[in-house]
Structures are given as C-alpha cells and as structure tokens.
Copies of this chain bind each other. A is one copy, B any other.
Amino acid sequence: MNKNLSDKVIHRLTLYHCILIDYINDNVEFISSSQIAKLLHIDDSQVRKDISLLNKSGKSRVGYTVKELMASIQESLGYNRKKNAYIVGAGYLGSALANYGKFSHCGLNIVAAFDNDQSKVGTMVNNIAVRDINELPEFVEKTNIDIAILTVPRVYGQIATDFLIEEAKVKYIWNFTPRILNVPAGIHVWNENLMANFIQFTYKIK
C-alpha cells in the first residue's frame, strides 16, 4: 500500500497496533485519538495525523472503529505478509526467539536455525531443526530466503555477516549482536542492541 511512511510514523503505528489488540480483547468497539495518546504520552493531534496517513477516517464524537483501524494498520505495515527467515546462532537467545510462538502475528516465519557447534546440529527447537552452518548456502539456494536473524556471539558477528553476504545472498539482517556490522550498500541491517538500549533506558537514573 502506502510505502512512504516515515520511520517515526511506522514506529508509532506499531504502538497503536499494540493498544488496539487490547481493545479487541476487551471487546471495545471505538477508540479515540486522545485515549491512544494518553497511553503513549504523546499529543493527540499526532495520533490523528498518523492515522490520516492511512487514509482512514474516524467518526466525530465517537473516534475510530477499533477493528477497522487495526486492519488498516496491519494492511499498511504488512503484518499479514509472510516473511520467511532463518536463525544464525542457536544459543540461548537464538533458541528463545525460535521458541517464541507469536512471531506469526507479524508475519515472521522462522524456517530453520544454523550453528557451527556440532553438539547442537541435529537438535530441534520448537519444531525448528538446527542445521550445520555449512548447509546454509545450499538451503538458501533452494528456498531463496534472504532474511537472517543473527544471534551469534559478538566476536563472530562480522565473520558471520561476511559469510551470509558472500555465501547466502542475504539481504536483510536482524542483528542481535552488540556490534555495528560493516555491510555494502543494498544490505539492510536492523540493530537490536540490548546493551545499548539498556544504557539509553537507564541514562537518567541516579
């Protein structure tokens, strides 16, 4: 649909979506911009502006229809579009992600996991087989999957990235390692840097 939403708008829309899930669960039919704004500690006119970008309209005196608004956000942001991916690094974090059953709600489908530790190869995590990292090129050749979830230890972050680019034609890397990956143009990296985030979170403490 509309592919011109800014990163900030997209981010807020995902938060609105979270709130809408609760409203659906509570069987509430309508929601107002000020209700959303209050939960997120933002301005209500911003909420209305974001929603107007979806070409969705609300009702005066009533607000927005919860179900319609949720469907609209899902449609615009691609919640229902299936995105196949594989995990690289089947350690604690990789396994936790593999065991997180709810990723299907945002269209993420984890198809396989890879590791170089032979004691892990052949095991299963939540019905996902852990395979030898050397099988990755062949796997990608067959499946054309280009999203990697990178959960290797920090020291292997760049080496694994180089391997993914050269041998597995990766295009999207969801990076859980606490480092900045050096990648050529055209490869998209999203950093999920827990340590950095924690610093930001607790910056003001004490």
User: Which residues of chain A have a CB within 8 Å of any CB of chain B?
Assistant: 3, 5, 7, 10-11, 14-15, 17-19, 21-22, 39-40, 77-79, 81, 83, 92-93, 95-97, 99-100, 102-103, 105-108, 147, 154, 172, 174, 178-180, 182, 188, 190-206
Could you tell me the distance in whole angstroms from the C-beta of A18 to the nearest C-beta in chain B?
A: 5
Could you tell me the distance in whole angstroms from the C-beta of A87 to the nearest C-beta in chain B?
A: 13
Give bound CA distance, A179 to B204, whole Å: 24
Copy number in the complex reads 2
Give bound CA distance, A154 to B101, whole Å: 12
Please tell me which one of the listed residues B19, B154, B196, B198 contacts residue A17 in the complex, with CB atoms under 8 A apart: B196
- Across the interface, do B199 and A78 meet the contact criterion of CB distance under 8 Å? yes
Could you tell me the distance in whole angstroms from the C-beta of A144 to the nearest C-beta in chain B?
A: 12
Query: For A95, what are the chain B residues with a Cβ–Cβ distance below 8 Å?
Result: 92, 96
Query: For A78, what are the chain B residues with a Cβ–Cβ distance below 8 Å?
Result: 199, 202-203, 205-206
Query: For A10, what are the chain B residues with a Cβ–Cβ distance below 8 Å?
Result: 199-200, 203
- Across the interface, do A198 and B22 meet the contact criterion of CB distance under 8 Å? no
Give bound CA distance, A167 to B59, whole Å: 41
- Across the interface, do B105 and A200 meet the contact criterion of CB distance under 8 Å? no
Could you tell me the distance in whole angstroms from the C-beta of A176 to the nearest C-beta in chain B?
A: 10
Given A106-B195, A196-B17, A190 and B180 contact (CB-CB distance below 8 Å): no
A195 and chain B: residue at smallest CB distance: B106
A15 and chain B: residue at smallest CB distance: B180
Please tell me which one of the listed residues B3, B196, B204 contacts residue A18 in the complex, with CB atoms under 8 A apart: B196
Please tell me which one of the listed residues B100, B147, B205 contacts residue A202 in the complex, with CB atoms under 8 A apart: B147
